Structure 1
């Protein structure tokens, strides 16, 4: 029920459009239900209506001439018209007979030797009758032709109205549904921006993509198909039951039994469908996640010849999806079409039994028009029932999809702040900071150091020593559990994340480029970063020389992740991006690891100028790039084991000395 309420709240946002669509749908359904009633009138009042009483009259308007006299149907007489004796036109088999008197009662008819015999139980009446020729029969039908044509025109007009409003409701309902899903996808995507980095550590990108695309599309079907079918089917069922009550109260009462049957039907279906759909939606997410991972890692898969193993893993996952889809299909086949057909047969059997019994007992015989309308309405009754049960599957899919989307929206996140703050000085101080990605497993222990404005701090250590974790805390990708980090004397946790990051820049070991151009990857479409600023940043890092061979220069198109550029080119673009935003604190996370020696030299020359007035943190494996750092911190297993300048650390011949000599030896070799 919680999911339904939340989906309802989304619908309320566009209630005007939805209400308009549902009103048009109601008119369309009502117009469609009028059709059988018009057909009944055509049959009873006009096609078989010539058997209703006729009266001899002197009026020729709307009258029929027969045997030198004028006759007019009693139903068409005006109040001031004089009427004479009654007459009747009677059909027995394919023969039409004329009687100069009215029938006393109706029943089984037979005609022989100019006499009509009518039998009804114990009653029997004999009438003098004259057989009508084809021309004479058509003469008695002439007053009905115009009336039949008017009703046919009315029927056509009603169908046109039904079609017009059916189109309108479909258009406006889809419009509302598309707006709802548009709003929902915007909110889901905005929620992703709010989520902490920790959330993405355990959530594959493919699963998130599935929730934004596949799950919201399943919800869209709820508004477009399920809502329209449920509403129109409900109106149809109510309208048909009312019509049947008007035609026959007993038959209308019998059809009321359908309501509790539908309720039980729904409960049984949902019991199984919810379980199946949860597995189906989960497997779709898993499949999307694996496809995404396989595409990103295709180089590794092919290089290590893991195509068959990857294919087998995918087939196993896909097979489970198929199994539950098959279960869902069997459930639909069992509880939808087959049961609807069974109920149709049972209802029509009861109808034949009931009215057949009445006719046999002579109690009452329905007219041909009423019979036509009843059969028509009974058939129409099962179409909306089929429409409802056929949407059970879509309804359950939407419910499960809604649960998944809302679970993402309910994740705790941080609102994106629009506030601006004065430029930071960049004075950073760590005080007894301890941190772990998992409880009870610290990766940083009692970290203490100070970085004054304009200083360059280098972090070195073996893989897993905690270097990148310090940067993650500084950027507030994660929050520390113990101690304090001060930025210009203010507790880091008291500074909004977006305000903090406005004054920070970062260059990662594996730079990420977006689809666009080189310039757009530097400005990130921020209006504060002009083209001149971006080009200057590129020149400052020496990228103008490295990128000079590109056909379009700085306007060179970049595909996803910049796969058409070399590692060095991507790194320089990432470096220029950070510099263009003129951060107070600059973080280089092993930023020179993928750059050749010549490019590294260019960056070092640019850094000597750019570091002035900016606090810089460098995480580096190449120790030759941090000789000029003001302070070098050597980490091991989450602790600072050495600190000082390059010369100081080399002098004590500790862990830093061993690392430097090892690298120098490799270079010498």
Structure 2
């Protein structure tokens, strides 16, 4: 991977990228062959032009003129055909590589730990997976093969020029080092500039994505003016990054154009003197050299431009491979596969921290027997949500063991483990799709009829049926077309359809209406029936029904027992919590 942004090119990174063309070797070789053929077509036209002038126009031979014009027309048609095939298949190859690379990247990201997503901006990851990878396609469509084709053209042109007149060739080549030096400086400057551009694009994407997602907060707290100012600042940095690339282009291309014009002037001056002196240089040679010098310098100027494209693609590839090289996956070395579980859960001296030595769980131990409902209560930050995150292996524990049916969850394959655990979170996430697709998650084995039957069993079919198009109702992004209570009901049904052995509920209902709360309570009773359930409890009704209540404080379990048992403890944590939070609810 490229570590120095000022480097003009990173060959190790490039070789790694080329491996993605291995499945398409035939196309790769064909495009390379087309590039070679195009380089020979490049000198064929100037040669035929020289022959036309010297063999037909100068001696005024009409038949030879028609013949050479016909040859030039045929050569042009062949060049157009190969140019079409070259451009089409170079772009096709780029899109195939991009598709495979994007699939690999998304597959890799699917297995990341939650820690990675906690620390990574969503907008930046979206930039990597969408626009950065699309930029990589330009390496093949406008960069690599185009540069190879241009270099081959230049080599063939120089060889042909020497064959025609070594003196004029040396004259042309005196200007070449100056253009090559300018090109080299230009490439280095543009590499740094494009790195800055990609950074600014990622920052802009991140800012826009976050503000659009949190627009309700922005408007509720009347932060429109402040966010607008921030956006203007970020957008200005983005503009400046692009203007820097424009500045380098504005300097380089006029210099290159001036050098080309000087070269043509030298050819006409020196070649004209030799032609007048009848010193082996003809009018046809002079005309051919004017066109050949263009064919030599134009690719050189274009190489600089295409090298920019190549560099931009390489910068994007560097970023994408940076994610592909990130080792942030939960270890999935477990070989045990379970089709069903009784549901015995045990935490043994489990310690865990999200960052560094700041422990969130400080050696907790507890058991939940099969079929039991365990309610977890405690203040915010006590570690309640961490318990359910660890049970699903979203994070790796620091010490201790978590067992299900006596098996360490590390010994169970991740897919098998998570298939047996269903989670209903307080913050329900719905995709921009139909209610049916959000329930069965587009699993073709779960039919609409089965979903309807399950909805009737937990008492929410009537609510779904009243929506426009029923189960085919599109809830839009994050379920924006539904209330918070309705979203939670959908998540209950989604969990119920998976027929889990273990159920985890974060059953907050503080922001839902009374009708939705009654439906949620009925759904809770139904889906917890007969299966082990761990509930982060917010309502007294749920807590009182629990077989066991686990009270947490500052990452430790301070009390365990039933509702009645815990109320008997004088100055107990749960009793104090009940007096402050739940007694008024019970009175109501």
Cα-to-partner distance string for 1:392-422 (whole Å, 9 max, x where unaligned): 3222211111110100111113588999532
What is the DSSP-based 3-state SS (H/G/I as helix, E as strand, rest coil) of the residue aligned with 1:515? coil
The change in CA–CA distance for 1:491 and 1:556 in structure 2 (over 3 A counts) is same
Is 1:206 the equivalent of 2:123?
Answer: yes
Partner residue in 2 for 1:622: 539
**Pick aligned residue for 2:65 from 135, 148, 154:** 148
Cα-to-partner distance string for 1:29-75 (whole Å, 9 max, x where unaligned): 422421121121121112223xxxxxxxxxxxxxxxxxxxxxxxxxx
Query: Could you tell me whether the CA contact under 8 Å between 2:504 and 2:535 is conserved in 1?
Result: yes
Alignment partners' CA distance in 2, 1:601 and 1:195: 37
Higher mean displacement: 507-516 or 416-425: 416-425
What is the DSSP-based 3-state SS (H/G/I as helix, E as strand, rest coil) of the residue aligned with 2:78? helix
- How many residues are matched? 574
Alignment partners' CA distance in 2, 1:344 and 1:666: 88
The change in CA–CA distance for 1:257 and 1:494 in structure 2 (over 3 A counts) is farther
Partner residue in 2 for 1:395: 310
Alignment partners' CA distance in 1, 2:72 and 2:331: 59
Partner residue in 2 for 1:384: 299
Alignment partners' CA distance in 2, 1:152 and 1:359: 24
Alignment partners' CA distance in 2, 1:593 and 1:446: 31
- Deviation at residue 466 of structure 1 after TM alignment: 0.3
Aligned residue runs from structure 1 range 356-367, under 5 A: 356=272, 358=274, 362=277, 364-367=279-282
Higher mean displacement: 511-520 or 340-349: 340-349
- Deviation at residue 162 of structure 1 after TM alignment: 0.7
- Deviation at residue 320 of structure 1 after TM alignment: 1.3
What is the DSSP-based 3-state SS (H/G/I as helix, E as strand, rest coil) of the residue aligned with 2:362? strand
- Deviation at residue 600 of structure 1 after TM alignment: 3.2
User: Radius of gyration: which is bigger?
Assistant: 1
Partner residue in 1 for 2:224: 307
Query: Could you tell me whether the CA contact under 8 Å between 2:458 and 2:526 is conserved in 1?
Result: no
Alignment partners' CA distance in 2, 1:647 and 1:588: 22
Alignment partners' CA distance in 2, 1:665 and 1:525: 44
Alignment partners' CA distance in 2, 1:497 and 1:591: 28
Query: Could you tell me whether the CA contact under 8 Å between 1:538 and 1:573 is conserved in 2?
Result: no
Partner residue in 2 for 1:341: 257
Is 1:275 the equivalent of 2:192?
Answer: yes
Aligned residue runs from structure 1 range 363-512, under 5 A: 364-412=279-327, 413=329, 421-512=338-429
Query: Could you tell me whether the CA contact under 8 Å between 1:29 and 1:236 is conserved in 2?
Result: yes
Alignment partners' CA distance in 2, 1:432 and 1:636: 16
Is 1:189 the equivalent of 2:85?
Answer: no
- Deviation at residue 613 of structure 1 after TM alignment: 3.4
Alignment partners' CA distance in 2, 1:257 and 1:426: 83
Is 1:9 the equivalent of 2:19?
Answer: yes
The change in CA–CA distance for 1:573 and 1:416 in structure 2 (over 3 A counts) is farther
Cα-to-partner distance string for 1:591-611 (whole Å, 9 max, x where unaligned): 544443443333434444433
Alignment partners' CA distance in 2, 1:343 and 1:501: 67
What is the DSSP-based 3-state SS (H/G/I as helix, E as strand, rest coil) of the residue aligned with 2:375? strand
Cα-to-partner distance string for 1:287-323 (whole Å, 9 max, x where unaligned): 1111111111111111111011101111111111222
- Deviation at residue 557 of structure 1 after TM alignment: 2.0
More strand by share: 1
Partner residue in 2 for 1:22: 32
Query: Could you tell me whether the CA contact under 8 Å between 1:433 and 1:483 is conserved in 2?
Result: yes
Query: Could you tell me whether the CA contact under 8 Å between 1:355 and 1:365 is conserved in 2?
Result: no
**Pick aligned residue for 1:568 from 479, 485, 498:** 485
The change in CA–CA distance for 1:269 and 1:252 in structure 2 (over 3 A counts) is same
Higher mean displacement: 460-469 or 606-615: 606-615
Alignment partners' CA distance in 1, 2:32 and 2:113: 41
Alignment partners' CA distance in 2, 1:423 and 1:644: 28
Alignment partners' CA distance in 2, 1:256 and 1:460: 82
Partner residue in 1 for 2:7: none
**Pick aligned residue for 2:458 from 520, 525, 541:** 541
Query: Could you tell me whether the CA contact under 8 Å between 1:177 and 1:220 is conserved in 2?
Result: yes
The change in CA–CA distance for 1:257 and 1:613 in structure 2 (over 3 A counts) is farther
Alignment partners' CA distance in 2, 1:330 and 1:377: 29
What is the DSSP-based 3-state SS (H/G/I as helix, E as strand, rest coil) of the residue aligned with 2:500? coil
CA RMSD in angstroms comes to 2.3
Alignment partners' CA distance in 1, 2:178 and 2:90: 29
Query: Could you tell me whether the CA contact under 8 Å between 2:458 and 2:527 is conserved in 1?
Result: no
Structure with greater contact order relative to length (CA < 8 Å, sep ≥ 6): 2
Alignment partners' CA distance in 2, 1:610 and 1:47: 94
Partner residue in 1 for 2:271: 355
Query: Could you tell me whether the CA contact under 8 Å between 1:273 and 1:328 is conserved in 2?
Result: yes
Alignment partners' CA distance in 1, 2:522 and 2:147: 70
Query: Could you tell me whether the CA contact under 8 Å between 1:505 and 1:586 is conserved in 2?
Result: yes
Alignment partners' CA distance in 2, 1:276 and 1:320: 12
Is 1:596 the equivalent of 2:516?
Answer: no
Alignment partners' CA distance in 2, 1:256 and 1:547: 78
What is the DSSP-based 3-state SS (H/G/I as helix, E as strand, rest coil) of the residue aligned with 1:430? strand
Partner residue in 2 for 1:46: 56
Query: Could you tell me whether the CA contact under 8 Å between 1:241 and 1:255 is conserved in 2?
Result: no
Alignment partners' CA distance in 2, 1:584 and 1:307: 47
Aligned residue runs from structure 1 range 512-661, under 5 A: 512-653=429-570, 654-661=572-579
Q: Which runs of 5+ in 2 are unaligned?
A: 1-10
- Deviation at residue 545 of structure 1 after TM alignment: 2.8
The change in CA–CA distance for 1:458 and 1:266 in structure 2 (over 3 A counts) is farther
